[in-house]
Structure 1
């Protein structure tokens, strides 16, 4: 179905919000080495990275905007956990990881903030399962912003600020927990209006959501 005018406006607004995410720390330029930050860096880019690290449980103090030893060690732990070289600085690969975590957290919060923690991890897993599927785009960004893929993107809930729970749910999904059992769809059977979704094979029900492939 084509979007209505209001839905399209909300979709464009969400894309604009995402562009702010990409602009920070050179996220819109994953290959730009000049965008890297590390020991001794100062400013809003550092504050942003510290805030994401804090939400993920790596940075257990107040954000300062100064990239010192505490930030370096927090970034190293993030890199170790996600299989990146623990250099302690934020280069292209770490920037891309943070970008993807941020986008996914916005989806998880917008789509499932009223669900259990397991249900939120399952929603994050669906995004990753779509990336791995030949039937969907092959990057987190393209999956999230595929037209009509997620209600939260269409209706503007993507723009809400996720809580720490949403970030931790994304972290657990990225680290391999998949309560959806490989699902690439989820829906609330009481709210779904597209009859096609009911033809999909349900793998699990978690809270109000049915997960399916």
Structure 2
């Protein structure tokens, strides 16, 4: 008799617990659409992405619906901590894991007026209203920041003129029809930069790297119009050696 009572009691507890979980599951707001979210995207999905990341302590910027540098770094941080592919793209798996980890999340501010999420890769551009425009070539503050990251990751041990040359190569690629037409598109093009491959792109840039980017934007191109460079000591690609070499600055050979 006692065993039967215990069995019934356990069944009731399990039923009540299941009901609670179902209520909790459906009571949590989930408004993500099916679109993958990546650098350059804007909209309500990005707003929710930032809000949930901030709820967990992975994001410390403004919740503004603008997938910029800070959001990209936060997504990568979240992915690394939750055993996901660290690609900076909030796809189905990342959004599901984020939603599962933030079921108690509730928006604390009004969502942006624009609806939906605009997916954007390296060639996309965040909404102008959420960007701090630079005075050079129409590039945004986020464009300048990711360029400074690239310069710092690729050339922080190089002489200053070499750092400016690396920034100039990025701009030369942006202006070339053979490459993506945005700094982020150029920098994150697969296999393009060692700093992206080894993660040094996420190191905090110093004032020298930032100044090098600005000098390149102001028209200084120590590379002489080059769109490639490589370190002859570490280069493993035979193809890069076939490019017409223009000059060597520090440890880098610049070529066309």
Provide the residue aligned with 1:157 in structure 2: 200
Q: Which runs of 4+ in 1 moved over 6 A?
A: none
State the alpha-carbon separation in 2 of the partners of residues 115 and 172 from structure 1.
16
How do 1:10-21 and structure 2 match up within 5 A?
21=69
Query: For residues 31-68 of structure 1, what are the alpha-carbon distances to aligned partners after superposition, in whole Å with 9 as ceiling and x for unaligned?
Result: 353x37xxxxxxxxxxxx7xxxxxxxxxxxxxxxxxxx
How many angstroms does 1:110 deviate by? 0.2
How many angstroms does 1:126 deviate by? 0.4
Say whether 1:131 aligns with 2:171. Answer: no
Larger radius of gyration: 2
State the alpha-carbon separation in 2 of the partners of residues 30 and 198 from structure 1.
37
Give the TM-score normalised by the residue count of structure 2.
0.51
Provide the residue aligned with 2:156 in structure 1: 113
Distance 1:29 1:180, change over 3 A: closer
How do 1:38-117 and structure 2 match up within 5 A?
79=135, 82=136, 96-117=139-160
State the alpha-carbon separation in 1 of the partners of residues 251 and 163 from structure 2.
11
Which structure dedicates a bigger proportion of its chain to helix? 1
Distance 1:99 1:200, change over 3 A: same
Q: Secondary structure at the match of 1:186?
A: strand
How many angstroms does 1:20 deviate by? 5.2
Gaps of 5+ in 1: 1-14, 37-48, 50-74, 84-92
> How much is the aligned-residue C-alpha RMSD, in angstroms?
2.8
How many residues align? The count is 143
